[in-house]
Amino acid sequence: MAAGEGFAVTGQEKQLVAPLTEEQVRALKVGDVVLISGEMYTGRDAVHSYLMKHEAPADLRGSVLYHCGPVVMKENGGYRITAAGPTTSIREEPYQADIIKRYGVRAVMGKGGMGRRTLDGMKESGAVYLNAIGGAAQYYARCIEKVIDVSLMEFGVPEAMWHLRVRDFPAIVTMDAHGNSLHADVEKASAVLLEKLAEPVF
């Protein structure tokens, strides 16, 4: 896929090749747009629950863990991803900080952001949250060059851990390794607005 196909490249994007180092991740800040190439893994509820109780089926050091339940087709003896949009990340809040620390995950990606516990864990361990584009499932599928492997298929296709090779996979840093969160900022701004709206009018 040509860079920028279906995504307006400005030249300001940060090019990242996974697996990532702590130094690379700590250099990122909220608002940075990144284009990820290299390898990543999918993981939703079943994967996160599994990782809390068992060893990971793959080496997750430096990895990008994508909250995604892909649509997958069998093709020529292998697999092809036909849709790979993000799922809501807050469901993984009870697990995420522990998984980042235990396995050396450097980036978590999904939609909607995560909470204070994950933000604190990212600051401690050196990780970021990447907000993926909602409604871009087919576009993201075109960023996937290859399905390298799949683990935990006993959980079903959407909940399995898919090991993918991607190219120029776009996302925005909305929680960084310095304790900053655009999601928290939005919540604060919304709370202030709601408070003003609730004030009695005389």
Give the Cα separation of 104 and 61 in Å (integer).
Answer: 4
User: Is residue 183 annotated as part of the catalytic site, yes or no?
Assistant: no
Q: Is 114 helix (H, G, I), strand (E, B) or coil?
A: coil
Pairing of strands 78-83, 71-75: antiparallel
Q: What is the separation of C-alpha 35 from the centre of its chain, rounded to a whole number of angstroms?
A: 12
Could you give the residue numbers annotated as active site?
Answer: 48
